[in-house]
Amino acid sequence: MVAECEQPGMSVSLVARRHGISASLLFRWKKLMKDGGMSAIESGDEVVSASEMKALNKKVRELERMLGRKTMEAEILREALEVAQSKKLISRMPLLPPDDTL
């Protein structure tokens, strides 16, 4: 709604009426956005768009899922190796370091 207020021919009062909220609330939101942007600029933080933030959050979730999958695969392989070594199916040196060195 704040972005809508910035459109040509739009006003805070008009946007507030369209969405059924008070104009003072929309003025407050507009001020908070401006103040938040200014504090981000003053602190040297980069200001990113909401769509970019959503895309980055989606990428993080995807990478977390991939990491979880790879971790599970490594644990399964480690357990299979331990079973094979205990049954003396593998008689050579261990392929993986002991857990305390990881």
Mean pLDDT across 38-51: 66
Predicted confidence at residue 58, as pLDDT, reads 95
Question: For the chain, what are the domain ranges?
Answer: 2-42, 50-101
Predicted TM-score (pTM) of the model is 0.42
Predicted confidence at residue 43, as pLDDT, reads 61
Reading phi first (left if > 0) and then psi (alpha if -120 to 50, else beta), residue 44 is in left
Give the separation between CA 102 and CA 98, rounded to whole angstroms: 7
92: phi then psi, degrees, rounded to nearest 5: -90, -175
Summarize pLDDT for 23-44 with one digit per residue, the tens: 888 888 888 887 776 565 566 6
Q: Of how many residues is the chain composed?
A: 102
pLDDT higher than 90, residue 63: yes
Predicted confidence at residue 79, as pLDDT, reads 93
Predicted confidence at residue 78, as pLDDT, reads 93
- Is residue 74 within a helix (H) or strand (E), and if so which, with residue range? helix 50-86
